Amino acid sequence: MIESAGLGSGDRVLEIGTGSGYAAAVMAEIAGTVTTVERHGGLADAARARLAAEGYGTVAVHVGDGTLGWADSAPYDAILVAAGGPSVPQALKEQLAPGGRLVIPVGETGAAQGQSLLKVTRTGPNDWTQERISGVRFVPLIGAQGWTEEGRRAASAQGPGRSLPEMIADAAEPLPGFEDPAFGRMFDRWADRRVILLGEASHGTSEFYRTRAAITRHLITHRGYDIVAVEADWPDAAAVNRFVGHHARRQFEAPAFIRFPTWMWRNTVVEGFADWLRGHNDGVAPDRRAGFYGLDIYNLRDSIAAVLTYLDAHDPEAARIAREWYGCLTPWQKDPATYGRAVLSRGYETCEEKVIAQLRDLLEKRLELEGQDEASFLDAAQNARLVRSAERYYRVMYYGGAESWNLRDSHMFETLEHLLDARGPKSKAVVWAHNSHIGDARATEMGKVQGEHNIGQLCRERFGEDVALIGMGTHTGTVAAATDWGGDMEVKTVRPSCEDSYERLCHEAGQPRFLLDLAAAGPLGERLAEERLQRFIGVIYRPETELQSHYAETALSRQYDAWLWFDETTAVTPLAPDHRRAGAPDTWPFGT
C-alpha cells in the first residue's frame, strides 16, 4: 500500500488504523509528517508510547473516527486506510491535496467478502480518478462513512446506499426459456447492428451454445441476418455450410470437427442448430440463404497435432514442453515460465525448420484436395489468403506469445470482413466465439498489459456503433474440457467463482439467469467499469490452478455492450465418435 501511494520525502501522510504503529514508523522513515488515527483508545495509547520510545516523535497519533479523516492537519499528499469500507469515504477524498493519492480497500458487503484495493488520485477540486490494485481482505472500516458495528452500511456512507449485487439485481432482466420466442426478442434492441458478437465463458457449456443458437435463430428469421461466423477452422465449417445451404457434396467430403477438441463444435446443440438452419434455408432463394462459416486460422489444430507428432518422434522433451505450452495457449495465462522453457529448449531450435516444412506440406496437401473439386470464389479467395499468411503464422504459432494471438484474431476479423463484402452491403453477421475474442481487449489486461488485440476491439474500431458485443458468464456447474492439449474430454466441476470477481457479484445478485444491458445501466455501468477479475475457460480447464490459469482483470461495462448470466450451468453433450443418422443427406457433416 505504501508503494502504491508513491510516498516521497516531504509528503504529508494520513494513516487510518494505527494498530501497533509499525506502518506509521515505516512511513515516517520515507515521508515528511505522519498523522495516524485509531478508533480504539487503548491501541492508540500503546502505539503512541511505542513510537516515542523508538524515536518517532514526529508521528501524531489521534483517537477518532477514521472514516472522517483528520481535518486539522489536512490536506494530505497521501492517505492509507488499513480497513475495508463499503465505498471510498467522501471525507477522505476531500482531505487529499491536489495530486494526492488515497489507497483503501473497498468491499461491498464488508468483511464477509473479499475486497478490492483501490488507488484514488485527486485530479481537480471536484475530480478524482480511481484504479484497482489487487484483491485483498481487511477488517471492516467502522465509522460514520463506513460500516456500522453490526456490519451494515452506515447511513452517511458515500454511495447509493445499496450494495453492488443489489444494484445488479435491480437492473437484471430475467431470461425466459430458450424455446420461448420472447428469448430471441430480448435482443431486438441490437438487431439494427451490422454485426452482433456472442461470447461464451467456456468452450464446453451447454447454456452458452443454446443461448447463441436461440438468439441466432431469431435474428435470421426476423431480422435479416445471413452470416453465422464461428471460431472454427474454415474447412470444417465449410462442410456444415454445404449441408445447411443445400449444396452438392464434394468428392473428398470428410466428417467435420473430428480433431481435438471435438466437443467444441461436434455436439448436440450445434447439430440441432445446423438441422434448423438447413430447414430454414429450404424455403429461401439460394442467393439469400444464411451461411455457416469458420473464421479461424486454417487447420490450427491439425498444425498443432503435426508439431506434437514430429517432436514426439525426434525430441520427447521438446514435445513435453510443447504440450505444456499449447495447453496454456490463452491470453489470460499468467505463467511466462512455460514460454521461456519453449524458447530456451534446444529441441525447439533444432526442430523448427523441419516442423515448419512439415506444416507447409500439410497445407499444400489439403489445398491440392480442394483443387480436385469445384470451389466457390469465396472458398478459393479464402484459401489464397491462408497460403499467404501460413508461413508467418506457423512460425509464430510454434513459439506462441502475443504475436501469435494477434495474428490469429486479425485473421479472423479479416475473414469476417471478406464474408460481409462477399454477401453484399445488406448482409449482417452473428459471430460465435469465446469471451476472450469478442470482448474489447482494450478493457482487459490482455490488451493493456500483454499488448494483445481481438475481434471485439477490431470490430469496434471498424464498425463503431454498428456492432454489439455480448458476453456470458456462470458461477458454477459442470463443463466439458480437457486437462492437457490433445487430452480426453472430461466433464469437470466448475469451481464457485472467485470472491473478487464479476461472477461473484452476479451470483450474489440472487437471480438464476438474466440479461444486463450495460449501455443502459447508468450508475451501475460506471461501477462495472471498475477493474475486477473475470473467469475464462477454454478447451483446457485446470481447477487446481484456476486463479492463475483462468482469471484476468477486466472492466466489464467497457468490455461488452451486454452481459448474460447463468448462475449454474451444465456441460455440452458431445456427439459419439461413431455417430450416424439414418436418412441424412450425403452432405450431413457430423457422421464418421
Where do the DSSP E strands lie in 194-254? 195-198, 227-233
- Is residue 349 over pLDDT 60? no
Q: How far apart are CA 105 and CA 41, in angstroms?
A: 23
All structural domains of the chain, each given as residue ranges with its CATH number in brackets, are 2-159 (3.40.50.150), 171-307+423-569 (3.40.1660.10)
- Is residue 292 over pLDDT 60? yes
Cα-based distances in Å from 94 to 5, 61, 78, 252: 16, 21, 12, 73
Q: How far apart are CA 375 and CA 398, in angstroms?
A: 30
pTM comes to: 0.69
Cα-based distances in Å from 429 to 95, 114, 224, 242: 52, 40, 9, 18
Between 537 and 586, name the one with better pLDDT.
537
Can you read off the three cell numbers belonging to residue 150? Answer: 453490526
Query: β-strand 291-296 against 429-432: which pairing, if any?
Result: unpaired
Average confidence (pLDDT) over 375-389: 55
Return the percent helix, strand and coil in the chain, to nearest 5: 45, 20, 35
Instruction: Please give the full DSSP string across 516-527, using - where no structure is assigned.
Output: EEGGG-THHHHH
Average confidence (pLDDT) over 490-514: 94
Backbone angles phi, psi at 507, to 5 degrees: -60, -45
Closest CA to 197 of 184, 212, 210, 185: 212
Between 354 and 112, name the one with better pLDDT.
354
Residue matched to cell numbers 428469421: 221
Residue matched to cell numbers 452458452: 208
Q: Which of 87-101, 103-117, 274-288 has the lowest mean pLDDT?
A: 103-117
**DSSP one-letter code for 429:** E
What's the confidence (pLDDT) of residue 340? 39
Q: How far apart are CA 333 and CA 589, in angstroms?
A: 34
Between 103 and 307, name the one with better pLDDT.
103
For residue range 295-323, list pLDDT tens digits in order.
986 555 555 665 566 667 766 876 776 66
- Is residue 207 over pLDDT 70? yes
Q: How far apart are CA 580 and CA 329, in angstroms?
A: 33
Considering the chain, what percentage of its residues have pLDDT values greater than 90? 58
For residue range 3-34, list pLDDT tens digits in order.
999 999 999 999 999 999 999 999 999 998 99
What's the number of CA atoms in the CB half-sphere (13 Å) around residue 1?
25
